Amino acid sequence: MDPPRAQQRTFRRNAHVAYFQRCLRALPTAAQGHDPNRITIAYFCLSALDLLGALDDHVALEQRQSWADWIWSLQSPSGGFRGSPYMTTLDDHTSPPHLPSTYTALMTLAVLRAPLDRLNVPGLISFISSCQCPDGSFSPLPAADEYISAGFQNDVRMSYCANVVADVIDAGLPTQTQTDFIARCKTWEGGYASRPGVIESQGGTTYCSVAALSMMGTIPEEPAASIRWLLQRQIGGFQGRPGKLEDVCYSFWCGAAITILGHAGLINAEADRAFLLAAQSPLGGFGKEPDDYPDPFHSYLALAALALSHQDGGLKQLDPRWNVSRETANWLREEMIRVA
Ligand SMILES: [Zn+2]
Protein backbone atom coordinates (compact mmCIF):
# COMPACT_ATOMS: atom_id res chain seq x y z
CA MET A 1 0.00 0.00 0.00
CA ASP A 2 1.27 3.51 -0.81
CA PRO A 3 2.32 5.61 2.20
CA PRO A 4 0.24 8.76 2.89
CA ARG A 5 1.31 11.38 0.36
CA ALA A 6 2.66 13.72 3.01
CA GLN A 7 5.26 11.04 3.85
CA GLN A 8 6.46 10.34 0.32
CA ARG A 9 10.24 10.33 0.15
CA THR A 10 10.85 8.90 -3.31
CA PHE A 11 11.11 10.94 -6.48
CA ARG A 12 8.61 9.34 -8.88
CA ARG A 13 10.47 9.93 -12.12
CA ASN A 14 8.54 7.48 -14.31
CA ALA A 15 5.17 8.78 -13.13
CA HIS A 16 6.26 12.35 -13.96
CA VAL A 17 7.43 11.32 -17.44
CA ALA A 18 3.99 9.76 -18.04
CA TYR A 19 2.19 12.83 -16.64
CA PHE A 20 3.93 15.32 -18.94
CA GLN A 21 3.41 13.02 -21.93
CA ARG A 22 -0.31 12.93 -21.12
CA CYS A 23 -0.48 16.74 -20.85
CA LEU A 24 1.14 17.05 -24.29
CA ARG A 25 -1.71 15.00 -25.73
CA ALA A 26 -4.62 16.66 -23.90
CA LEU A 27 -4.81 19.33 -21.25
CA PRO A 28 -6.29 18.30 -17.91
CA THR A 29 -9.72 19.90 -17.42
CA ALA A 30 -8.36 22.25 -14.75
CA ALA A 31 -5.78 23.64 -17.19
CA GLN A 32 -8.07 24.15 -20.17
CA GLY A 33 -8.43 27.85 -19.38
CA HIS A 34 -4.84 28.15 -20.63
CA ASP A 35 -5.78 27.06 -24.13
CA PRO A 36 -5.16 30.50 -25.73
CA ASN A 37 -1.62 30.23 -24.40
CA ARG A 38 -0.88 26.71 -25.57
CA ILE A 39 2.78 27.42 -26.27
CA THR A 40 3.40 27.92 -22.55
CA ILE A 41 1.84 24.54 -21.73
CA ALA A 42 4.04 22.97 -24.42
CA TYR A 43 7.07 24.64 -22.80
CA PHE A 44 6.17 23.26 -19.35
CA CYS A 45 5.73 19.72 -20.72
CA LEU A 46 8.69 19.57 -23.12
CA SER A 47 11.11 21.35 -20.80
CA ALA A 48 10.00 19.03 -17.97
CA LEU A 49 10.73 15.97 -20.15
CA ASP A 50 14.13 17.55 -20.93
CA LEU A 51 14.87 18.06 -17.19
CA LEU A 52 13.80 14.44 -16.60
CA GLY A 53 16.22 13.30 -19.32
CA ALA A 54 13.26 11.65 -21.07
CA LEU A 55 12.73 13.70 -24.21
CA ASP A 56 14.74 11.61 -26.66
CA ASP A 57 13.40 8.28 -25.41
CA HIS A 58 9.76 9.23 -24.89
CA VAL A 59 9.00 11.73 -27.65
CA ALA A 60 9.82 10.33 -31.10
CA LEU A 61 11.99 12.39 -33.45
CA GLU A 62 9.07 12.96 -35.85
CA GLN A 63 6.95 14.22 -32.95
CA ARG A 64 9.69 16.61 -31.86
CA GLN A 65 9.94 17.88 -35.43
CA SER A 66 6.21 18.39 -35.66
CA TRP A 67 6.23 20.30 -32.35
CA ALA A 68 8.95 22.54 -33.78
CA ASP A 69 6.95 23.04 -37.01
CA TRP A 70 3.92 24.00 -34.94
CA ILE A 71 5.95 26.58 -32.99
CA TRP A 72 7.35 28.04 -36.21
CA SER A 73 3.77 28.41 -37.45
CA LEU A 74 3.21 30.76 -34.47
CA GLN A 75 6.07 33.07 -35.52
CA SER A 76 4.60 36.36 -36.67
CA PRO A 77 5.77 37.54 -40.13
CA SER A 78 7.17 40.66 -38.44
CA GLY A 79 8.91 38.83 -35.55
CA GLY A 80 7.90 37.44 -32.17
CA PHE A 81 5.51 34.54 -31.49
CA ARG A 82 1.79 34.18 -30.78
CA GLY A 83 0.50 32.00 -27.96
CA SER A 84 -1.65 29.61 -29.97
CA PRO A 85 -3.36 29.25 -33.35
CA TYR A 86 -6.65 30.15 -31.59
CA MET A 87 -8.50 32.71 -33.76
CA THR A 88 -5.27 33.73 -35.48
CA THR A 89 -5.17 35.91 -38.58
CA LEU A 90 -2.10 36.83 -40.60
CA ASP A 91 -2.53 40.45 -39.58
CA ASP A 92 -0.25 41.60 -36.74
CA HIS A 93 -2.83 44.11 -35.54
CA THR A 94 -5.60 41.57 -34.94
CA SER A 95 -3.21 38.72 -34.00
CA PRO A 96 -0.11 40.37 -32.56
CA PRO A 97 2.86 38.43 -31.21
CA HIS A 98 2.94 38.21 -27.42
CA LEU A 99 5.96 38.67 -25.15
CA PRO A 100 5.52 35.74 -22.69
CA SER A 101 4.65 33.43 -25.63
CA THR A 102 7.79 34.61 -27.43
CA TYR A 103 9.90 33.70 -24.39
CA THR A 104 8.35 30.23 -24.04
CA ALA A 105 8.46 29.61 -27.83
CA LEU A 106 12.18 30.37 -27.93
CA MET A 107 12.94 28.13 -24.95
CA THR A 108 10.81 25.29 -26.35
CA LEU A 109 12.54 25.45 -29.74
CA ALA A 110 15.84 25.15 -27.86
CA VAL A 111 14.55 22.22 -25.79
CA LEU A 112 13.62 20.54 -29.10
CA ARG A 113 17.07 21.37 -30.57
CA ALA A 114 15.27 22.93 -33.55
CA PRO A 115 17.76 24.70 -35.84
CA LEU A 116 17.11 28.43 -35.44
CA ASP A 117 17.87 29.52 -39.02
CA ARG A 118 14.18 30.48 -39.35
CA LEU A 119 14.27 32.79 -36.33
CA ASN A 120 13.54 36.34 -37.46
CA VAL A 121 16.13 38.04 -35.21
CA PRO A 122 15.78 41.61 -36.55
CA GLY A 123 11.98 41.25 -36.29
CA LEU A 124 12.35 39.92 -32.76
CA ILE A 125 14.48 42.89 -31.72
CA SER A 126 11.98 45.32 -33.17
CA PHE A 127 9.09 43.41 -31.51
CA ILE A 128 10.56 43.53 -27.99
CA SER A 129 11.62 47.15 -28.49
CA SER A 130 8.05 47.97 -29.50
CA CYS A 131 6.82 46.43 -26.22
CA GLN A 132 9.05 48.73 -24.13
CA CYS A 133 7.27 51.75 -22.64
CA PRO A 134 8.77 55.15 -21.77
CA ASP A 135 8.80 54.31 -18.03
CA GLY A 136 11.04 51.27 -18.71
CA SER A 137 8.28 48.68 -18.24
CA PHE A 138 7.18 46.26 -20.96
CA SER A 139 3.70 45.44 -22.19
CA PRO A 140 2.87 41.90 -23.36
CA LEU A 141 1.87 43.22 -26.80
CA PRO A 142 3.40 46.12 -28.75
CA ALA A 143 2.89 49.17 -26.54
CA ALA A 144 0.95 51.09 -29.16
CA ASP A 145 -1.75 48.42 -29.05
CA GLU A 146 -5.08 49.88 -27.98
CA TYR A 147 -5.83 47.03 -25.55
CA ILE A 148 -2.72 47.68 -23.56
CA SER A 149 -2.71 51.43 -23.35
CA ALA A 150 -4.00 51.17 -19.77
CA GLY A 151 -0.76 49.36 -18.94
CA PHE A 152 -2.37 47.00 -16.46
CA GLN A 153 -0.13 44.12 -17.44
CA ASN A 154 3.08 46.14 -17.59
CA ASP A 155 4.64 44.45 -14.62
CA VAL A 156 7.97 42.82 -13.80
CA ARG A 157 6.84 39.50 -15.33
CA MET A 158 7.06 41.22 -18.72
CA SER A 159 10.47 42.70 -17.82
CA TYR A 160 11.61 39.15 -17.11
CA CYS A 161 10.33 37.72 -20.43
CA ALA A 162 11.82 40.62 -22.42
CA ASN A 163 15.18 40.21 -20.75
CA VAL A 164 15.44 36.48 -21.39
CA VAL A 165 14.70 37.04 -25.09
CA ALA A 166 17.11 40.00 -25.18
CA ASP A 167 19.77 37.90 -23.42
CA VAL A 168 19.40 35.06 -25.95
CA ILE A 169 19.55 37.24 -29.06
CA ASP A 170 21.86 39.89 -27.58
CA ALA A 171 19.33 42.61 -28.35
CA GLY A 172 21.10 45.33 -26.39
CA LEU A 173 17.93 46.94 -25.01
CA PRO A 174 18.41 50.23 -23.13
CA THR A 175 18.75 49.31 -19.47
CA GLN A 176 18.64 52.52 -17.41
CA THR A 177 14.87 53.09 -17.62
CA GLN A 178 14.32 49.36 -17.04
CA THR A 179 16.40 49.26 -13.87
CA ASP A 180 14.67 52.45 -12.67
CA PHE A 181 11.27 50.80 -13.22
CA ILE A 182 12.28 47.64 -11.34
CA ALA A 183 13.82 49.68 -8.51
CA ARG A 184 10.43 51.40 -8.08
CA CYS A 185 8.84 47.96 -7.60
CA LYS A 186 11.01 47.23 -4.55
CA THR A 187 9.02 47.44 -1.32
CA TRP A 188 9.96 48.31 2.25
CA GLU A 189 10.06 44.55 2.97
CA GLY A 190 13.07 43.95 0.69
CA GLY A 191 11.30 41.92 -2.02
CA TYR A 192 9.64 43.23 -5.19
CA ALA A 193 6.01 43.85 -6.05
CA SER A 194 4.56 43.44 -9.55
CA ARG A 195 4.64 47.17 -10.34
CA PRO A 196 5.28 50.52 -8.67
CA GLY A 197 2.68 51.46 -6.08
CA VAL A 198 1.84 47.87 -5.06
CA ILE A 199 2.89 47.76 -1.43
CA GLU A 200 3.38 44.03 -0.89
CA SER A 201 6.35 41.96 -2.12
CA GLN A 202 5.66 38.57 -3.67
CA GLY A 203 7.93 35.59 -4.43
CA GLY A 204 7.19 35.36 -8.17
CA THR A 205 7.63 39.06 -8.86
CA THR A 206 10.79 39.10 -6.73
CA TYR A 207 12.21 36.29 -8.90
CA CYS A 208 11.27 38.14 -12.12
CA SER A 209 12.91 41.34 -10.84
CA VAL A 210 16.11 39.71 -9.59
CA ALA A 211 16.50 37.56 -12.73
CA ALA A 212 15.84 40.52 -15.07
CA LEU A 213 18.37 42.70 -13.24
CA SER A 214 20.96 39.95 -13.29
CA MET A 215 20.52 39.41 -17.06
CA MET A 216 21.10 43.15 -17.49
CA GLY A 217 24.33 42.73 -15.51
CA THR A 218 22.98 44.81 -12.63
CA ILE A 219 23.00 43.91 -8.96
CA PRO A 220 19.76 44.79 -7.11
CA GLU A 221 20.01 47.67 -4.64
CA GLU A 222 20.52 46.37 -1.09
CA PRO A 223 20.58 42.68 -2.08
CA ALA A 224 20.92 41.66 1.59
CA ALA A 225 17.36 42.88 2.26
CA SER A 226 16.05 40.84 -0.69
CA ILE A 227 17.97 37.74 0.38
CA ARG A 228 16.64 38.07 3.93
CA TRP A 229 13.05 38.49 2.74
CA LEU A 230 13.35 35.49 0.38
CA LEU A 231 14.92 33.24 3.04
CA GLN A 232 12.20 34.20 5.51
CA ARG A 233 9.65 32.72 3.07
CA GLN A 234 10.91 29.18 3.79
CA ILE A 235 8.69 27.23 6.15
CA GLY A 236 9.75 23.76 4.94
CA GLY A 237 8.78 24.54 1.36
CA PHE A 238 8.30 28.23 0.53
CA GLN A 239 5.34 30.60 0.82
CA GLY A 240 4.81 33.47 -1.66
CA ARG A 241 4.12 36.14 0.97
CA PRO A 242 4.18 36.37 4.77
CA GLY A 243 1.23 34.59 6.38
CA LYS A 244 0.50 32.38 3.34
CA LEU A 245 0.73 28.59 3.06
CA GLU A 246 3.61 26.84 1.31
CA ASP A 247 3.13 26.25 -2.41
CA VAL A 248 5.55 24.28 -4.63
CA CYS A 249 5.83 27.06 -7.21
CA TYR A 250 7.49 29.31 -4.59
CA SER A 251 10.21 26.71 -4.07
CA PHE A 252 11.19 27.69 -7.59
CA TRP A 253 10.46 31.45 -7.47
CA CYS A 254 12.17 32.03 -4.12
CA GLY A 255 14.81 29.29 -4.48
CA ALA A 256 15.90 30.44 -7.94
CA ALA A 257 16.03 34.10 -6.84
CA ILE A 258 18.21 33.17 -3.84
CA THR A 259 20.41 31.09 -6.18
CA ILE A 260 20.83 33.99 -8.63
CA LEU A 261 21.74 36.22 -5.68
CA GLY A 262 24.53 33.74 -4.85
CA HIS A 263 23.19 32.32 -1.58
CA ALA A 264 21.76 28.90 -2.51
CA GLY A 265 23.72 27.44 0.41
CA LEU A 266 21.41 29.23 2.87
CA ILE A 267 18.32 27.32 1.67
CA ASN A 268 17.31 24.32 3.80
CA ALA A 269 17.30 22.10 0.69
CA GLU A 270 16.36 18.94 2.58
CA ALA A 271 13.20 20.47 4.07
CA ASP A 272 12.26 22.01 0.72
CA ARG A 273 12.71 18.68 -1.06
CA ALA A 274 10.57 16.89 1.54
CA PHE A 275 7.71 19.35 0.88
CA LEU A 276 8.08 19.04 -2.89
CA LEU A 277 8.08 15.23 -2.81
CA ALA A 278 5.03 15.24 -0.55
CA ALA A 279 3.16 17.24 -3.23
CA GLN A 280 3.72 14.56 -5.91
CA SER A 281 0.57 13.02 -7.30
CA PRO A 282 0.57 9.20 -7.37
CA LEU A 283 -0.18 9.47 -11.11
CA GLY A 284 2.68 11.90 -11.73
CA GLY A 285 2.90 15.67 -11.66
CA PHE A 286 2.73 17.89 -8.58
CA GLY A 287 -0.10 19.74 -6.90
CA LYS A 288 0.56 23.13 -5.42
CA GLU A 289 0.59 21.44 -2.01
CA PRO A 290 0.24 17.84 -0.76
CA ASP A 291 -3.12 16.25 -1.67
CA ASP A 292 -3.85 18.86 -4.34
CA TYR A 293 -4.47 17.86 -7.97
CA PRO A 294 -1.48 18.29 -10.29
CA ASP A 295 -1.43 20.95 -13.01
CA PRO A 296 1.26 21.58 -15.65
CA PHE A 297 2.36 24.93 -14.12
CA HIS A 298 2.99 23.65 -10.58
CA SER A 299 4.33 20.34 -11.88
CA TYR A 300 6.94 22.08 -14.00
CA LEU A 301 7.99 24.56 -11.34
CA ALA A 302 8.26 21.83 -8.68
CA LEU A 303 10.59 19.88 -10.98
CA ALA A 304 12.58 23.03 -11.73
CA ALA A 305 12.91 23.64 -7.97
CA LEU A 306 14.16 20.09 -7.44
CA ALA A 307 16.61 20.56 -10.33
CA LEU A 308 17.96 23.70 -8.61
CA SER A 309 19.27 21.79 -5.63
CA HIS A 310 20.76 18.90 -7.67
CA GLN A 311 19.65 16.30 -5.13
CA ASP A 312 17.72 14.00 -7.44
CA GLY A 313 20.18 12.17 -9.65
CA GLY A 314 17.67 11.67 -12.45
CA LEU A 315 17.22 15.40 -13.02
CA LYS A 316 19.40 17.64 -15.17
CA GLN A 317 20.77 20.85 -13.67
CA LEU A 318 18.70 23.98 -14.16
CA ASP A 319 19.72 27.37 -15.53
CA PRO A 320 18.00 29.56 -12.90
CA ARG A 321 17.71 32.63 -15.16
CA TRP A 322 16.31 31.12 -18.37
CA ASN A 323 14.46 28.31 -16.50
CA VAL A 324 15.52 25.47 -18.80
CA SER A 325 18.18 22.79 -18.29
CA ARG A 326 21.76 24.10 -18.38
CA GLU A 327 22.34 21.70 -21.26
CA THR A 328 19.58 23.42 -23.26
CA ALA A 329 20.80 26.90 -22.32
CA ASN A 330 24.32 26.00 -23.51
CA TRP A 331 22.94 24.58 -26.78
CA LEU A 332 20.93 27.77 -27.32
CA ARG A 333 23.98 30.02 -26.79
CA GLU A 334 25.95 28.01 -29.34
CA GLU A 335 23.07 27.91 -31.79
CA MET A 336 22.72 31.71 -31.67
CA ILE A 337 26.44 32.01 -32.54
CA ARG A 338 25.94 29.55 -35.42
CA VAL A 339 23.03 31.43 -36.98
CA ALA A 340 24.45 34.94 -36.38
ZN1 LIG B 1 1.61 28.37 -6.91
Helix (H) or strand (E) holding 324: strand 324-325
**CB-based burial, 11-24: b 16+ in 10 Å, e otherwise:** bbbeebbbbbbebb
Nearest to 253 by CA among 317, 261, 3: 261
CA of 253 to the centre of ligand 1 (A): 9
Q: Cβ–Cβ contacts within 10 Å for residue 273, how many? A: 20
Q: How far apart are CA 259 and CA 252, in angstroms?
A: 10
CA of 204 to the centre of ligand 1 (A): 9
Q: How far apart are CA 329 and CA 338, in angstroms?
A: 14
CA of 98 to the centre of ligand 1 (A): 23
CA of 129 to the centre of ligand 1 (A): 30
CA of 305 to the centre of ligand 1 (A): 12
Note whether residue 36 is domain-resident. Answer: yes
CA of 69 to the centre of ligand 1 (A): 31
The per-type count for the chain, helices as H runs and strands as E runs, is 14, 2
Domains identified in the chain, total number: 1
The CATH number given to whatever domain includes residue 158 is 1.50.10.20
CA of 297 to the centre of ligand 1 (A): 8
Residue 281's contacts (CB-CB under 8 Å, 6 or more residues apart) are 15, 19, 287, 293, 294
CA of 287 to the centre of ligand 1 (A): 9
Note whether residue 4 is domain-resident. Answer: no
CA of 289 to the centre of ligand 1 (A): 9
Residue 314's domain comprises: 11-339
CA of 279 to the centre of ligand 1 (A): 12
Note whether residue 2 is domain-resident. Answer: no
Predicted pLDDT of residue 78? 87
Nearest to 152 by CA among 142, 164, 140, 161: 140
Note whether residue 332 is domain-resident. Answer: yes
Note whether residue 1 is domain-resident. Answer: no
Q: Cβ–Cβ contacts within 10 Å for residue 200, how many? A: 13
- Bridge partners of 286, per DSSP, are 280
CA of 314 to the centre of ligand 1 (A): 24
Note whether residue 78 is domain-resident. Answer: yes
Q: How far apart are CA 297 and CA 295, in angstroms?
A: 6
CA of 246 to the centre of ligand 1 (A): 9
Note whether residue 3 is domain-resident. Answer: no
CA of 248 to the centre of ligand 1 (A): 6
CA of 119 to the centre of ligand 1 (A): 32
Residue 193's contacts (CB-CB under 8 Å, 6 or more residues apart) are 185, 186, 187, 199, 200, 201, 202, 205
Nearest to 284 by CA among 6, 23, 33: 23
Residue 216 has, within 13 A of its CA and on its CB side, a CA count of: 24
CA of 130 to the centre of ligand 1 (A): 31
Note whether residue 289 is domain-resident. Answer: yes
pLDDT tens sequence for the chain (340 residues): 455 555 667 999 999 999 999 999 876 655 555 556 788 999 999 999 999 999 999 999 999 999 999 999 999 988 999 887 655 555 665 667 899 999 999 999 999 999 999 999 999 999 999 999 999 999 988 876 545 445 567 899 999 999 999 999 999 888 999 999 999 999 999 999 999 999 999 999 999 999 999 999 997 888 999 999 999 999 999 999 999 999 999 999 999 999 999 999 999 999 999 999 999 999 999 999 999 999 999 999 999 999 998 767 689 999 999 999 999 999 999 999 999 8
Q: How far apart are CA 55 and CA 88, in angstroms?
A: 29
